[in-house]
Amino acid sequence: MTPANPPHWSLAVHGGAGTMARAGMGEAQRAEHKAALGSALDAGATILSAGGSALDAVEAAVRVLEDDSRFNAGRGAVFTYHGTNELDAAIMDGRTRAAGAATGLTRVRNPITLARAIMEQGPHVFLSGGGAEEFARERLIETVDPAWFATPERWRQLEELKARGDGWFDAGLKYGTVGAVAVDAGGHVAAATSTGGLTAKRWGRIGDSPLIGAGTYADDRACAVSATGTGEVFIRVGAAHEIGARMRLLGESAQAAADAVIAEVGTLGGHGGVIVAAPGASPAFAFNTPGMYRGRADSAGLCEVRIFDGATD
């Protein structure tokens, strides 16, 4: 149903979905995460309310979360099995369906900005590793010493996982991938996602986040989507593209399409969630985990940040 006064811009952010428990998270920790999500929303909303583009807004929002060590993107990324941080990101412009993505970065401070440069300044969509970093240096994109990304808490999580020895990856779903989706006053949509991937990933593993159509997608004819969760399953479902396709071809609302695709992810054994922004409505969320760090704002005055699967917190 279309609201009586549809918002002319809207924005949503996420900071990962997982098994965060109300009881296991203290007041201070909740407040810190909510404040960080609020800062990301502010960064994007300031751009959108001044008539800026959805693309600028999603990049700005994701950069805030990449620089915040609480989230698994940029500084604070999880460690690979071999003790490095390898970052992935993707961005997409719904106006033209131009897209840019990068994987296996070890030195680019803000992977989302590199993804945007790949989209706007190069002939390709997806670059990896040393080549992507060569492209970054040529475009004067900020690089840092790899130590910039490392935090003691992520190291502890790697050691804990290795000591448990009960699986290849982070079975506890200590996720924290970040993403943003927006609609601007011109009705254009954009999506951005950035991640360190999964704790103890190896063999050059790449998840859904930087894969256009899996973890990130934007199309003005439907919506913008950023996903977080069990990357392998989001890839197999083509989750982000599937949500847009359902809206475009079946006429489903953003919420209905997101719910259906997350249900499908669940049937294949996947966990996680999505944020979806579509013209003329407030952003939608869907997730099948106990919580998802998330926030949304729009020109009609909506402004909220939530963590758990409930209306108030």
Residue 284 or 292: the one with the smaller Cβ distance to ligand ASP is 292
Widest CA span of the chain, in angstroms? 55
Joined together, the tokens standing for residue 210 give 């930087």
Nearest-angstrom CA–CA distance, 191 and 276: 9
- The count of residues interacting with ligand ASP (CB under 6 A) is 15
Residues 16-35: x where in contact with ligand ASP by CB under 6 A, - otherwise, as a string: x-------------------
Q: How far is the CB of 103 from ligand ASP (least distance, A)?
A: 10
Q: Indicate the residue among 54 and 89 with the shorter CB distance to ligand ASP.
A: 89
| H-run or E-run covering 245 | helix 239-250
From the list 35-43, 147-155, 226-234, 299-307, the region that binds ligand ASP by CB under 6 A is 226-234
For position 200 contacting ligand ASP by CB under 6 A, the verdict is: no
**Which residues touch 8 (CB under 8 Å, ≥6 apart)?**
185, 299
Three-state SS annotation for 76-109 = CCCCCCCCCCCEEEEEEECCCCEEEEEEEECCEC
- Is beta strand 98-105 parallel, antiparallel or unpaired with respect to 126-128? parallel
Stretch that binds ligand ASP, among 150-158, 203-211, 241-249, 296-304 (CB under 6 A): 203-211
Tell me the Ramachandran region of residue 76: left when phi exceeds 0, alpha when psi lies from -120 to 50, beta otherwise: left
By C-alpha distance, which of 214, 250, 256 is closest to 235? 214
Is residue 143 annotated as part of the catalytic site, yes or no? no
Q: Does 94 bind ligand ASP (CB under 6 A)?
A: no
Q: Select which of 177, 195, 228, 230 is catalytic.
A: 177
- Using CB under 6 A, which of the segments 32-40, 155-163, 218-226, 227-235 binds ligand ASP? 227-235
Of 44, 231, 270, 295, the one binding ligand ASP (CB under 6 A) is 231
Residues 6+ away with beta carbon under 8 Å from 50:
none
Residues designated catalytic: 177
Binding site for ligand ASP (CB under 6 A): 16, 72, 175, 177, 195, 197-198, 207-209, 215, 228-229, 231, 272
